[in-house]
Amino acid sequence: MANPVFILNGPNLNLLGTRQPEIYGATTLADIEAACKKRAQALGLEIDFRQSNSEGELVDWLHEAGRAGAGVVLNAGGYTHTSVAVMDAISSIEVPVIEVHLSNIHAREDYRRRSYVGEVATGSICGFGALGYQLALEAMADVLAGG
């Protein structure tokens, strides 16, 4: 596959492994990236793995993925619940977007139950910890294969 699947990570995900491990686990973002590379290779996918604390940078990367990517796996972090700009960026691109969250956002605080990303994503995976990224790649491979 020529075009990569962009795996985009939002604010505070650079702190995984140390930030609230009782909620987000002990796995670091580097661990997740390594597992995604391995799973993507097994699925015949290329990935482009990125993280930013900046909303504008995530929007720019979504636009880039719309031009040069096969799809997007997106953990928008806190922007999931607040960013109409991220939602609009997803709506403006024509590649599949799969939302992923480490925790089950529907079993948390009321404000986390609203997902602007989920309203426009192809699908959502949450509550399975770091495994959710690999599940998202499995789903992406199926979507890209026309499944």
Catalytic residue among 63, 79, 81, 101: 101
Q: Which CATH number fits domain 5-144: 3.40.50.2300, 1.20.1250.20, 3.40.50.9100, 3.40.50.620?
A: 3.40.50.9100
Pick the catalytic residue: 24, 79, 116, 133? 24
Q: How many angstroms separate the CA atoms of 68 and 50, rounded?
A: 15
Cβ-contact 121, 90 below 8 angstroms: yes
pLDDT tens digits, 93-106: 999 999 999 998 88
Active site residue 133: no
pTM equals: 0.93
Residues 52 and 105: their CA atoms lie apart, in Å, by 20
Local structure of 100: helix, strand or coil: strand
Whether 97 and 120 have beta carbons less than 8 Å apart is answered as yes
pLDDT in tens, 3-20: 999 999 999 999 988 887
* pLDDT bracket for residue 1 (50, 70, 90): very low
- Does residue 101 have an active-site annotation? yes
Q: What is d(CA 44, CA 46) in angstroms, rounded to the nearest whole number?
A: 7
